[in-house]
Every structure is written in structure tokens, then in C-alpha cells.
Amino acid sequence: MQLEPGEKSILAYFPTENKAEAARKILIQRGYNEIQIDRVSSAPNSKAYGNNNMTSLATMIMGNGAYDRVPSPLMAADPSVSGMAGSHDLPGQSAFLLTMVTNEERVPDALQVLKQHDAQV
């Protein structure tokens, strides 16, 4: 998708699906219509990888061979398990992503609604 001149995209992360849905309902009531909510995760699953063929580092790097297909190595490579990440960086803390498109003049109003529902924008 390419934005038209004067359009802006907003990405807002929410801690719960309920908060994301509540924000979406208010935005729709205010006339915003290009809104989508997705769940994001650093851990592999069938939704993230389509046919679930990429569940290990070896498979991602070397293709679909006879390599181990458990997700442990892939999850172990995540920066959050290094011991360097603080507690505020835990995976899944803001697992719901609301994406929306609006014109530039309406961005402040949209941001206000999103932040009232604990979004990180």
C-alpha cells in the first residue's frame, strides 16, 4: 500500500486486544475507516510463517532440509533472552498492533484516542 499525498500512517501498539478493539471502535465512530489490528510476536507459529516450514535458525538459513524443526533455537536468538534486556522489553508486552491511515489534519485527534487507550505510538 502506498500513501497518497497528505495521508499519514499511524502504528500503535497495545498491551491487550481489548484496549486495541476499544480504540478502534471509537476511531470508527469518529469517521476513521482504514484501521487494522494484528497480533505480533517474536515467537514462530503457523500464522507468522505461513506453512510453518521455517521454525528453526537452520531452516531459515539453509532452506527446508532435514534440520531440527523445533522453535527453541529461533526463540533463543531473541535479544530478550540475552540477559541484557530490561523488564520493560519483555516480548508480548505490547503484542497488538493497530495500523491506520488518515489525512494529516486528523492525526492529532487519532493520537489522542490511541493514547487514552494505553497505546504506544
Strand partners, 96: 14, 39
Which segments of 3-121 are extended strands (E)? 7-14, 34-39, 96-103
CATH 3.30.70.120 domain locations along the chain: 6-40+91-120
Query: Does domain 6-40+91-120 fall into CATH 3.30.70.120?
Result: yes
pLDDT by residue for the chain (121 residues), tens digit each?
688 999 999 999 998 999 999 999 999 999 999 999 998 876 555 444 444 555 555 555 555 555 455 556 666 665 655 555 554 544 456 789 999 999 999 999 999 999 999 999 9
